[in-house]
Structure 1
Amino acid sequence: MADKRATIVIVHGAWVGGWRWRNVADLLRDRGHYVFTPTLTGLGEREHLTSPEVNLSLHARDIANVIKYEGLENVLLVGHSYGGMPISQATELVPEGVIRSILYMDAFLPEDGQSLNDLVPGEPHLPEDPNDYLVPPPRLLLQGFNAHMTPEDRASYEDRRTPQSVHCFTEKARLTGAREKIPQKTYVIATGYKNDTFAPVAQALRKRDDWRVEEMPFTHDLQHVAVTESADMIESAVP
């Protein structure tokens, strides 16, 4: 457990919103931390703002603006799944030293010039209609993603997921090394499912002295299936 009040910004994955992290955020707040779970433009309660202009750069700006306008310092920045893309680029927009720790939870970790579609195995995320810009959320019952949910939970989850601009998945990250200057860097791999997407990331980072790599024996939706354990892991990365 952390022994001091921390400032934590948690960024959700694709097709959802800040609501997806409410239970973990509430637990961290109960423990005395200052927690933000911003919803990225065009998603969740901000779905009415979607447009073809919504892309990775805009989502990175969403995060940087929370930090700027809330006047946050000594930040622990957390990203889950797709959230690893915009938190990576957001490090380029925030003054050096503001983000003291960064935590990727079963998340994409791009290098400069890589898009999410470059990193995802299998079929890229693209619109069903080539004349459209919106990528619908997958509706399949996928092992490791929503197979763990009760029918009621799954219905609520599906009802609140929203299509997402393809440009979030196709825009290349523009990184110049700001992320690497962050003093504490942690990567968490979920090992409770066949994790072909993120296991190679964890394997590569284990060879680096400047990254801490941890495992959680759960499925990808850590914030849903392991609320307390996710809060504990986030606390472990407090700067």
Structure 2
Amino acid sequence: MTAYVLVGGAWLGGWCWKPVARRLREEGHDAYPVTLTGLGERAHLASPEVDLETHITDVVNLIEYEDLHDVVFLGHSYGGIVVTGAADRVPERISRLVYLDTAPLPDGVAVADTYPPEARRYVERQVEERGEGWKWPIPPREALVNFGSLEGLDDTQLELLYSRATPQPFGTFTQPLRLTNPARERLPKLGIVCSFPLDQVRQMIESGNPLFQGLDAPEWRFTALPTGHWPMFSRPADLAAILLDLSSERPVGSKLRAT
């Protein structure tokens, strides 16, 4: 039996993992869809004080208080930086890190630092004009596409996303990630690439960009799940199948393959 801890991206709560978690449990595994402070059913806890460290603590506490070991630890989009920070705190509890259409950030980098200047200005305006200066509501559909491909989402799935999305406390995007434990780097890692080709992953790795430093290490491999940026909605069964394969798979060296 494997314990899966699932961390969604911006604006999402544990609710987004329902079909995936159901499938994992049907196969006899434990699934823990995480709702981070201030999001989903924990929206009443949102405040200007919620930051990246708050969310990292959320996940570390879940792992420790549920006494989880050998965890398959998945982060989607923004959730990837949360997973990276939490794995830095409790690497001995983790068997594998899974990055779903995202990649880990290095020490000292904040999510907002990765945005091009125009995109960052747009987000900051949204925070000021629509978010009382400290939270970022989900952008309108015509703007959301600039932050993640909507491919594979039908009108019903988009309606679900917008009906349950909660504003993201912006401190989670502006606080830099702090990493101190090299044991995290030795954990096996899987990148599930959804919204761009595997060849582009190879190009990013070879570009020398410090944001992608280390993705060519032997602890890494990549697989493709072609769809948009939200596969928990567009291809939940296929996503669950990839995760289920990990429960019986031994860690392997770095490689790129298509699913």
- Provide the TM-score with structure 1 as the length reference: 0.87
| Distance apart, 1:120 and its partner CA | 3.2
Cα-Cα RMSD? 2.6
- Residue 215 of structure 1 is matched in structure 2 by 224
Unaligned runs of 5+ in 1: none
- Residue 180 of structure 1 is matched in structure 2 by 185
Q: Helix, strand or coil: the match of 2:191? A: strand
Hey, what's the Cα distance between the residues in 2 that align with 1:219 and 1:153?
Answer: 12
Amino acid aligned to 1:140: R
CA deviations on 1:10-59 (whole Å, 9 max, x unpaired) are 00110110101111110111111111001000000000000111111110
1:233 maps to which of 222, 234, 242: 242
| Distance apart, 1:202 and its partner CA | 9.6
Cα gap change, 1:32 to 1:199, in 2 (>3 Å): farther
- Residue 167 of structure 1 is matched in structure 2 by 171
- Residue 8 of structure 1 is matched in structure 2 by 4
CA deviations on 1:125-178 (whole Å, 9 max, x unpaired) are 431339610111111245554354333332232111111111111110001234
- Farther-moved stretch of structure 1 (184-193 vs 50-59): 184-193
Q: Helix, strand or coil: the match of 2:102? A: coil
Relative to its length, the structure with more helix (as a share) is 2
Cα gap change, 1:56 to 1:198, in 2 (>3 Å): farther
Amino acid aligned to 1:150: D
Identity %: 33
2:194 maps to which of 190, 205, 212: 190
Amino acid aligned to 2:75: G
- Provide the TM-score with structure 2 as the length reference: 0.81
Unaligned runs of 5+ in 2: 251-259
CA deviations on 1:212-237 (whole Å, 9 max, x unpaired) are 11111111111111111101221233
- Residue 67 of structure 2 is matched in structure 1 by 71
Q: Helix, strand or coil: the match of 1:208? A: coil
- Assess if the C-alpha contact under 8 Å between 1:185 and 1:212 holds in 2: yes
- Assess if the C-alpha contact under 8 Å between 2:101 and 2:195 holds in 1: no
Cα gap change, 1:119 to 1:202, in 2 (>3 Å): farther
Q: Helix, strand or coil: the match of 1:128? A: helix
Q: Helix, strand or coil: the match of 2:139? A: coil
Hey, what's the Cα distance between the residues in 1 that align with 2:158 and 2:98?
Answer: 27
**How many residues are aligned here?**
232
